[in-house]
Amino acid sequence: MHHMKKYFTEGLIQFTILLSLIGVRVDVDTYLSGYFSPLIETDGGPSSAFIQTPFHHYRDTAAGHHVHPKCPELDYFFTSRRLLNEVRALGSPARFPTRVSAWLVHLVPDEGSDGDELPEDPDNQEVNTENHQEENDHRAGEGFGLSLSQDCTVSRPCCASGELSKEETLMNQENEEEDVKDEKKQEQTNPSSLTQSSALEHEDLVVSGSLPPPLSGLELPPRLQDFLSDFDDFDSIVPQHMSDLEADLSNPISYDVSLQDAMVTRGDSANCRSASSRAQLFRLESTNSSHSDPPHSSAGILSSSLFCLSGNSSRNETSSSQLGGYLDEAVFEHINMLDLCNLGQINPQMLDDMQGDMDTQWMEDSDSGLSLESSSRSVASPSSSSDSFGEDESGATGCSSEVESFSSKGGACAASYYDWSPVDLHENIWHDHTYSATQAHNSTSSNWFTAIKQEVMSEDEAEPEEMSRDEHRVQALGLPFSAFQIVNMPVENFLELLDRQNLSGSDVTLLRDVRRRGKNKLAAQNCRKRKLDAIVGLQGEVEGLMVQRDALLRQRDHTAKALSATAERFEALSRTMFSHIRDEYGHPLNPEHYTLHCSANGRVMVQPRTNTTSRTMKGSKTVKRKKDKKP
């Protein structure tokens, strides 16, 4: 189920982003009405929307597990972030043809099936014209009228007619898989090279594939070039704000991923998106991330909560971050929509099959420490790594039991996982990572042991092995307490424990060290989280100040222009006045040597200019105030 959902989500997201960027509003609800409709379409050949990079297929395989080895449950988030970054990188059109060409592979055979000469094909021209129109519409901010169904009139027939051979299908898939493999490499290497190669590959596909006879190889490249040339102007296609905001997108603080922990704590629910806003995909007016919709979405619990992350990430962003807001919301909203709709329609057999993979993922999910929120989800993984009971505690306030139940629910685990309410998730993710210390402290002295014991027992069941060094040391003492308990028990109980157990001095020191290290570990984690919070806050502050600075600069320019205009008017008025003013000899005054001065009482006086004072100083006293009446 995860495979299918992720696969479809990926494809839809990418396709949606692609279409949205060229101004086509995509209504995915038509797909959601029938969950497997994409499958039906892909039977006849890979629909352009669903041959997109199947990251999760890769991630779920042994070869591709490295994609997100630490936190598969946050895979949505990271994948969305990765897609988001890709889209952000589209500020330069270099990467874009990779996706576009994948789309074109289906577009061309469809047109070829009509048997028309491509350059003269009116439909084709219509398509191109339509694209241009969409682009123009998009420029005007009105290009959201086209629905997916319209677009599918281009791509679907080729799938239905099965004109794409199996070979071509496989090649397409391989292409996409290669894209997946090269995704990371592209990040470091020159993106244009791969883009070109990908485009070439797709072009080769088109040329050498099972194209109908009317489509000769000589005709296609110009067409592709024409089509791609449309996207060469991508920067101009994309709304102006996109390019305006590029600088901000290259923000040196990459809090998109790394600082998510910091953002987590800022996860006020007010920023979460409501599923009711599904229909407002990619609308400019809906892109302000400061939504106040409560996070009561019934679907996409994890993703919706992660959207809170997204919202938080852009919460402090000012206008210069609007693009991120647009894309974040578009991407996450799609995920939110697709996330968990119609889960009940999944074949139970498939669910069972995938359960194994899922368990494997969770088993393989290993994260030392807590990774704060992320690892808090991985409590269920028995292979949690080494040196910490912190990951045991990472369930923190009550999370472990839920995850425990999650991992034990068999085929329903995914559903139950997604059945977590957003509030629950918030409680489990956005909680203060003081772990159960607060819980233990809040509990009365009589039940502190029970509270800790329950938590630890569930965790011990989940992780009978992989104990930390301190855990091993404590166990070696033969004490009926775990390191977790020792860390989190009240100090009076800890002292009582030290007294009762007839421990040697070294053992007492060991237990004290265990307790100290455990507490300090949590403190360090909190400290780092706060630090990231501070960084993000400062970043938002800087952005706000930059906006303020820009506003002040604009205001200064405006004021300078007004002042200049006023000075010109004053000069003109002065010249007019000087033309009527005469000295005692009846000679007109030279405006270059004299200036009018308005006194506080409203009187207007004639004064020699200061820069000419040296020349006219001697005579100025006599010339001054010859006439102070306005004409």
Q: Which of 314, 420, 515, 606 binds DNA (CB under 7 A)?
A: 515
Helices (H), 209-340: 220-232, 234-237, 240-244, 246-249, 260-265, 301-313, 322-339
Region near DNA per CB under 7 A, out of 2-10, 134-142, 144-152, 524-532: 524-532
Lookup: tokens for 410: 């068999």
Amino acid at 328: D
Q: How far apart are CA 45 and CA 157, in angstroms?
A: 10
CB of 419 to DNA, least distance (A): 27
Taking the complex as a whole, how short is the minimal distance between the CB of residue 364 and DNA, in angstroms?
Answer: 10
For DNA, the closer CB: 469 or 627: 469
Contact positions with DNA (CB under 7 A) in 252-281: 257-258, 261
- 31/494 with CB nearer DNA: 494
* Residue from the set 264, 370, 462, 486 that interacts with DNA by CB under 7 A: 370
Q: Could you give the CA distance from residue 404 to residue 381 in angstroms, rounded to a whole number?
A: 9
Instruction: With beta carbons less than 8 A apart as the criterion, state whether 468 and 388 touch.
Output: yes
63-66: long-range contacts, CB 8 A cutoff, minimum separation 24: 64/180, 65/364
Residues that bind DNA (rule: CB under 7 A) add up to a total of 46
Work out the number of other CB atoms within 10 angstroms of the CB of residue 55: 25
119 by DSSP, 3-state: which?
A: coil
Cα–Cα distance measured from residue 93 to residue 97, given in angstroms and rounded to the nearest whole number: 7
Q: Which of 391, 404, 463, 543 binds DNA (CB under 7 A)?
A: 391
- Pair 155, 110: CB distance under 8 Å: yes
Question: Which residues from 37-66 bind DNA, rule CB under 7 A?
Answer: 66
Of the two residues 519 and 593, which places its CB atom closer to DNA in the complex? 519
Q: Is 608 helix (H, G, I), strand (E, B) or coil?
A: strand
Give percent helix, percent strand, percent coil of the chain, each to the nearest 5: 65, 0, 30
> Using the rule CB under 7 A, is 535 a contact of DNA?
no
Query: CB-wise, 44 or 398, nearer to DNA?
Result: 398
Residue 471 engages DNA in binding (rule: CB under 7 A): no
Question: According to CB under 7 A, which one of 470, 543, 594, 606 is a site residue for DNA?
Answer: 470
- Within residues 479-498, the interface with DNA by CB under 7 A covers 490-491, 494-495
| Shortest spacing between CB 300 and DNA, in angstroms | 24
Q: What type of residue is 63?
A: A
Is residue 363 close enough to count as binding DNA by CB under 7 A? no
Return the residue of 318, 368, 454, 612 that touches DNA, per CB under 7 A: 368
Instruction: Indicate the residue among 332 and 494 with the shorter CB distance to DNA.
Output: 494
Pairwise CA distance, residues 184 & 377, whole Å:
25
Taking alpha carbons only, the member of 88, 116, 118 closest to residue 104 is 118
Residue 513 lies near DNA (rule: CB under 7 A): yes
As measured in angstroms, the least distance from the Cβ of 249 to DNA is: 18
Residue choice 9, 316, 525, 595 for contact with DNA (CB under 7 A): 525
Binder among 247, 253, 523, 551 for DNA (CB under 7 A):
523
* Spatial contact of 320 and 547, defined as CB atoms under 8 Å apart: yes
Residue 545 sits in the site that holds DNA (CB under 7 A): no
Query: For 314, what's the count of Cα atoms within 13 Å in the CB-facing half-sphere?
Result: 28
**Footprint of DNA on this chain (CB under 7 A)?**
66, 69, 257-258, 261, 367-372, 374-375, 385-388, 390-391, 434, 437, 441, 468-470, 490-491, 494-495, 513, 515-528, 530-531
